[in-house]
Each structure stands twice: as structure tokens, then as C-alpha cells.
Amino acid sequence: MTATSSIPDDFDDERILAVRRKTADYVRNEALLKGDQWELEGTIPHEDFRRLGDLGLLGLSHPVEYGGADMGPVASVVFAEELGRSTYGGLPEAVLIHTEMSSTHILHRGTPEQKRRYLSAMNRGDMICAVAITEPQAGSDVAALATTARRQGEGWLLNGTKTYVTNALYGDVFIVAARTDPHAKSSRAISLFAVERNTPGLRIRPMPKKHGMLSSDIADLVFEDALLPGNALVGEENKGFYGVMENFQNERLILGAMSLGMGRAALDLTLGWLRSRKAFGGTLWDLQANRHRIAFLSARMKAVETLVYDTARRGARGEECVREVSMIKALAGETLQDVTRACLQLHGGVGYHHGTAIERIGRDAGLMTIGGGATEVMLDEIAKRL
């Protein structure tokens, strides 16, 4: 997370409230009407990225000169939380990967030429961005990457396979991590590249349907002597490992905010269900065990909220937050699992019915303890800093 001079430090700031209102309005008036179709098609159409761009929501952390709002992590957290409330998890997954997990590499490490070429178009939604780190044999262990890039004339020759790449099927630009020094240790051997989808030697291979997040597309990227121009390098050669690690901090904060929104939506749905469902001469809400279960889960989500918001403020001030961000990723994802499991149970048979909002959140929640760093990896990161 990188501080900028104009970041508001208060979640009640009018600009922040406007982001929350606009995002909530988009979810209510557009996403909830289109979500079922998105899940059938397995993707969020370009036109909806453009719609979010028109609303000024795709470049909240980007400079004004590239069509951004220059508001930083505070606004991004609010945006992620409200998208997470949509009950269609593929929407925030696809959009936030575009805004907070891939285009950010160009924002923080790109050349002026790369920023001019890509950022404005990405903030308008005209270009969709993805990040390609994970490989068939390397997930959270970034140091184990096997994809290689070697110099070929004035350009680069890229070989290897990336997997689980969200936005890959219909995306326009991919931020790809590759090993550029076969002899150095991994932290000094990896570089980042901006790879356009029409690159010769790039094959985009659809993956099987996912368990959840059905409205975000996913694919493998297969590079077979893919020829990149010399200006495809993002940041310094052999310094990409540090870029990936730095970007993980923003990514994990944003995923925590997304989990917060998903959990809040699940609790709201369940509270309404318990208060309306007739049973045993009253409602399910009249049963103390049910009230207490929801009360405790609500308290846990409030703890997640406090940690997410406080860390976003600290990040906006440029403070070091690696331990807290790791805590967020672990706590938010695991709390969401407990919340959705309880909410599905309290809905009874309705919660097991495909296509209901609570069922969607339940299946989408499974990714939130895996993507962006598994809980086990996060706990190790925390332990190192205790």
C-alpha cells in the first residue's frame, strides 16, 4: 500500500461515503438483476467493467492524470466491501483483481509509457487486466515459479504455464511473473511482464467450471516461445519477486474487505429469515440458541471490520502493516467460513437450494481461505512477526 497526498483518513469522509453509495446503488440496481445471467455465462461482460468505469469506481487508487480518483486504500476497502455484499462473489473477484491485484503493478512499477498505454483504458473499463503468478506446481510458494523469460534480440521469449488466472478468458492484459535469471536465488531471479492477449505464442486454455465464483472467468495461460517486446518488462529486471510480495499486501487487505461484505450479506439474509420463519409457535428468532449464534457471529464480523478499517487507515498513512494484513486475510476468510456454515444451517433446506443468495455465498466463500494466500501461509507470516 502506497500513501498519496490526498487520501482521506476517515471512513465518514464525503468522498468515501460517495464511493459506498455509488457501489451499493450499482449492486442493487444492476448487479442483482444481471447476476444469474453472469453465472450462466461464466463471466462479467466488458460492458459492466465500462459501467463501473463510468461511475469512477475502477481507479480509486490511481492518479487523476490516468483517470483515477487518487483516494488510496480507504476507498478501495469500501468498494470491496460493498461489492462483496452483492451475493455474487464472481463480481468482486473479477473486478477487484482488475483494480487492486493486477493493474496496481503498472501503477507502482510501470514506466510512464506503460501507464499511458494501459492505466487510463483500465480505469475506463476498456481494457481488463489479470495477474498470472500461480503455476501447476507453484501456488503460495512464489519462489518455486518455473515459467522463464530470456532475452531474444531486443525482446523476451516467454515459456511456461500459468493457472487459475481470473479474467484470463476474456481479459486484455496479463501481468506475468517469470524467472529471468536461472542462476540466482528466487528473490533475485523473477521479473514481471505486461503481456497482451494477442501475443504470438500465447495460448489461452479454458479451465473446468469452478465450485463457486461462477461469474468470474478463469483460464490457463500457456506460453510457448511467446515473443514479447522489450518494453513489456514491468519494473526492474529480476526485482519482480519484491513487486509480487508488495502487491500481496494490498491484495490481502482487499480480500479481507470482500470477505467482510460477503459475511455481512449472509448475516443480514439470515437475520431476516429467522425473524420471518414460523416454527414451534413463534419464529426461529424466538429460539435463544439461534439468537445467540447470530449475535456471536456478528461480533466476530465486527472484529474483522475493525481490523480491516484500522489497517486501511494505517496503510493510507504509509505505515508498515504486513503482520496486520496477514491477520486480516486469515481472520476474515476463516470467520466467513464459520458465518456461512451457520447461516446455511439456520436456513434449513432453503439454504441447500441452488440459486438462493445464501447458497451462492456459501459456495463462493470457500475461495476466501485459499486465494491470495492460504490461511496456513498467513498464520506463518504472522508467527514470524510475533
Per-residue pLDDT of the chain in tens (386 residues, 90 and over written 9) = 444 334 445 556 889 999 999 999 999 999 999 999 999 999 999 999 999 999 999 999 999 999 999 998 999 999 999 999 999 999 999 999 999 999 999 999 999 999 999 999 999 999 999 999 999 987 667 778 899 999 999 999 999 999 999 999 999 999 999 999 998 888 899 999 999 999 999 999 999 989 999 999 999 999 999 999 999 999 999 999 999 999 999 999 999 999 999 999 999 999 999 999 999 999 999 999 999 999 999 999 999 999 999 999 999 999 999 999 999 999 999 999 999 999 999 999 988 888 899 999 999 999 999 999 999 999 999 999 99
Confirm whether 84 is domain-assigned.
Answer: yes
Let me know whether 304 and 208 are in one domain.
no
Considering its fold, how many domains does the chain have in total?
A: 3
Confirm whether 5 is domain-assigned.
Answer: no
Let me know whether 215 and 153 are in one domain.
yes
What's the CATH number where 94 sits? 1.10.540.10
Cα dist from 336 to 20, 137, 153, whole Å = 21, 28, 50
Per DSSP, 226 falls in state E
- Report the greatest alpha carbon distance in the chain: 79
- Containing domain of residue 257, as a range? 242-384
Let me know whether 105 and 160 are in one domain.
no
Is 93 catalytic? The answer is no
Spatial CA neighbour of 331 closest among 300, 362, 371, 358? 300
What's the CATH number where 177 sits? 2.40.110.10
Let me know whether 168 and 64 are in one domain.
no
From 100, 251, 334, 381, the catalytic residue: 251
Residues whose CB is less than 8 angstroms from the CB of residue 94 and which lie 6 or more positions away in sequence, other chains included: 43, 44, 166, 167, 215, 216, 217
Q: Report the predicted TM-score, pTM, of the whole model to 2 decimal places.
A: 0.93
Long-range CB pairs of 277-284 (<8 Å, 24+ gap) are 284/346
C-alpha to C-alpha distance for 9 and 313, rounded to whole angstroms: 6
